[in-house]
């Protein structure tokens, strides 16, 4: 797998006038990786993609593909292929002409192109559809044609700009699996842009979480989910409950914070912040809904929270309990459905417990918008 071509961003800055779209990005993407840039819209992830594909020049810093500086090399000369958000298939060309456009440029004969198109159509499970126009295909089929068109150019790096965002939910979930399979089959580097954390988590080897032009964390999906660096990463990736407070005591890799409403709580300090957080600092403690459980009444201590239940809902695989939390924010608790009888707590006060290692502490910071 590591045979693929890697991409490196070194101290990359991109400015549009006074606006800084990308601020000092340093990313090493291994060859053959499925790498995602994850962030809300306007965070600069598409700008990074355009800098890699060559449509934008860095204001500062370098973009390296396979260790080679790409400065001054145009998008038509880079070993990258880009899949656009709206796919940008050529509407007047037939599907097979679309797919083999890159071969046409290199002067391949019609017979060669036709043969290659048929191979790729088989791969994307659209055999015999080559003579249709893109407008005669469904959304998911067009999606696959766009992938085939990009792969036909035999790029070292495939860049994908939120290509699934236009599809409906079912198809989107299906295409996730399919994209991942294609990536593993062809073995080239995929760089994927998305604001959908589900897409990023299910497909990627590594994820960069971005906010306002800054990369907050680069790690595997699992690490980002379990061990976020910042309040933004913790709140943007997956659902999370936040408790704010001041650090009362640091105990090695753990610390206790004093909250206004829920008393003193203990949590693990996230790996990147260990040794950097000290007493008196503003901190945020995050506990995932599934890491909370209902404790016996009257239990107290530094990993118990008492809260009043506002409402409950049944989602099938889980029961969700919403309680009044700090600062008006709800605390969400997800209890797995094992077929047990479930008592309605609405209006009651309940005690919640968590294991210290499942709660993570980061410096106070900006949260992701809901």
Partner 1 sequence: MPKFLKEFFNRNGTGMGLAILGLVLFWTIGLIILPQLSMLDFSFRPNLPPPEIGGPKDVYTLENYKYLIYGPEGGSQDYNAVDLRVFFRTLIAAVCVTIFNLIICYPIAYYLGQSKGSHIRIFAIMLIIPYWINEILRAFALRIIFGETGVLNTLFVGLGIFDTPFDFIRNDIALYAGLGYAYILLMIFPIYNVIESLDHNQIEAARDLGAPWWRIHWRVVIPYAKPGISSGCTMVFMLSAGALAAPQILGGPSSLWFTQLIYQQFNDNNDWPQGAAYAIVLLVTCILFVLAVMRLFKVNMGDIGK
Spatial contact of 355 and 267, defined as CB atoms under 8 Å apart: no
**Vertex 154, ends 149 and 158: CA angle to 5°?**
75
Does the footprint of partner 1 cover residue 276 (CB under 8 A)? no
Does the footprint of partner 1 cover residue 86 (CB under 8 A)? yes
Does the footprint of partner 1 cover residue 11 (CB under 8 A)? no
Q: Pick the piece of the chain touching partner 1 (CB under 8 A) from 49-57, 109-117, 177-185, 233-241.
A: 49-57
Does the footprint of partner 1 cover residue 53 (CB under 8 A)? yes
- SS3 of residue 68 by DSSP: strand
Kindly provide the b/e burial profile for residues 193-230, where b requires at least 16 CB atoms within 10 angstroms of the residue's own CB.
bbbebebbbebbbbbbbbbbbbbbbbbebebbbbbbbb
Distances (CA, A) of 48 to 31, 77, 154, 257: 18, 18, 22, 38
Q: Pick the piece of the chain touching partner 1 (CB under 8 A) from 12-20, 89-97, 243-251, 277-285.
A: 89-97
Q: Pick the piece of the chain touching partner 1 (CB under 8 A) from 87-95, 173-181, 237-245, 273-281.
A: 87-95
Cβ proximity to partner 1, 86 vs 337, nearer residue: 86
In whole angstroms, what is the distance from residue 235 CA to residue 87 CA?
A: 30
Spatial contact of 323 and 310, defined as CB atoms under 8 Å apart: yes
Does the footprint of partner 1 cover residue 153 (CB under 8 A)? yes
- Closest separation between CB of residue 117 and partner 1, Å? 14
Cβ proximity to partner 1, 107 vs 128, nearer residue: 107
Does the footprint of partner 1 cover residue 104 (CB under 8 A)? yes
**Vertex 193, ends 188 and 196: CA angle to 5°?**
125
- Closest separation between CB of residue 94 and partner 1, Å? 12
Other C-beta atoms lying within 10 Å of the C-beta of residue 36: 27
Lay out the site mask for partner 1 across 277-316 (x = CB under 8 A, - = otherwise): ----------------------------------------
Cβ proximity to partner 1, 14 vs 269, nearer residue: 14
Does the footprint of partner 1 cover residue 92 (CB under 8 A)? yes
- Closest separation between CB of residue 73 and partner 1, Å? 12
Does the footprint of partner 1 cover residue 93 (CB under 8 A)? yes
Q: Pick the piece of the chain touching partner 1 (CB under 8 A) from 51-59, 176-184, 205-213, 251-259.
A: 51-59
- Closest separation between CB of residue 310 and partner 1, Å? 46
In whole angstroms, what is the distance from residue 43 CA to residue 55 CA?
A: 18
Does the footprint of partner 1 cover residue 139 (CB under 8 A)? no
In whole angstroms, what is the distance from residue 86 CA to residue 134 CA?
A: 13
Query: Residue 29 corresponds to which tokens in the numbers above?
Result: 């993407």
Cβ proximity to partner 1, 78 vs 303, nearer residue: 78
Q: Which of 40, 75, 263, 365 binds partner 1 (CB under 8 A)?
A: 75
Spatial contact of 159 and 168, defined as CB atoms under 8 Å apart: no
Cβ proximity to partner 1, 102 vs 273, nearer residue: 102
- Closest separation between CB of residue 146 and partner 1, Å? 9
End-to-end CA distance of the chain: 37
Contacts of 67 (CB under 8 A, 6+ apart): 6, 8
Strands of the sheet with 293-294, listed across from one edge: 293-294, 349-353, 304-314, 318-324, 330-336
Does the footprint of partner 1 cover residue 77 (CB under 8 A)? yes
Does the footprint of partner 1 cover residue 55 (CB under 8 A)? yes
Question: Strands 206-211 and 34-38: what pairing?
Answer: parallel
Q: Which of 45, 149, 211, 345 binds partner 1 (CB under 8 A)?
A: 149
User: Would you tell me which residues interact with partner 1 (CB under 8 A)?
Assistant: 53-55, 74-77, 80-82, 84-86, 88-93, 101-102, 104-106, 149-150, 153
């Amino acid at each position: 797998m590591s045979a693929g071509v890697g991409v490196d961003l070194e101290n990359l800055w991109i400015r549009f006038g006074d606006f800084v779209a990308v601020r000092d990005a340093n990313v090493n993407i291994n060859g053959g990786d499925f790498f995602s840039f994850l962030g809300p819209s306007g965070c600069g992830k598409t700008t990074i993609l355009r800098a890699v594909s060559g449509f934008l020049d860095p204001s500062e810093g370098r973009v390296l593909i396979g260790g080679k500086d790409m400065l001054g090399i145009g998008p038509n000369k880079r070993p990258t292929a880009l899949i656009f958000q709206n796919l940008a298939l050529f509407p007047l060309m037939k599907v097979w002409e679309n797919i083999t456009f890159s071969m046409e440029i290199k002067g391949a004969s019609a017979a060669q192109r036709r043969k290659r198109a048929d191979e790729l159509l088989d791969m994307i499970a659209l055999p015999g559809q080559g003579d249709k126009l893109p407008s005669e295909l469904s959304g998911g089929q067009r999606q696959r044609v766009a992938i085939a068109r990009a792969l036909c150019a035999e790029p070292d790096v495939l860049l994908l700009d939120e290509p699934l965002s236009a599809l409906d939910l079912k198809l989107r979930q299906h295409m996730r699996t399919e994209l991942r399979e294609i990536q593993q089959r062809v073995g080239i580097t995929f760089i994927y842009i998305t604001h959908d954390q589900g897409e990023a988590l299910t497909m990627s080897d590594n994820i960069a979480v971005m906010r306002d032009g800054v990369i907050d964390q680069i790690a595997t999906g699992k690490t980002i989910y379990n061990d976020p660096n910042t309040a933004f990463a913790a709140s943007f990736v997956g659902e999370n409950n936040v408790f704010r407070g001041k650090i009362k005591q640091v105990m090695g890799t753990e610390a206790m914070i004093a909250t206004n409403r829920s008393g003193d709580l203990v949590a693990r300090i996230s790996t990147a912040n260990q040794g950097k957080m000290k007493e008196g600092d503003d901190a945020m403690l995050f506990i995932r809904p599934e890491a909370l459980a209902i404790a016996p009444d009257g239990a107290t201590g530094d990993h118990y929270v008492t809260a009043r239940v506002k409402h409950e809902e049944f989602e099938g695989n889980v029961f969700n309990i919403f309680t009044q939390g700090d600062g008006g924010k709800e605390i969400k608790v997800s209890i797995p459905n094992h077929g047990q009888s479930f008592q309605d707590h609405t209006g009651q006060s309940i005690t919640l417990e968590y294991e210290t290692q499942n709660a993570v502490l980061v410096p106070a910071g900006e949260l992701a918008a809901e």
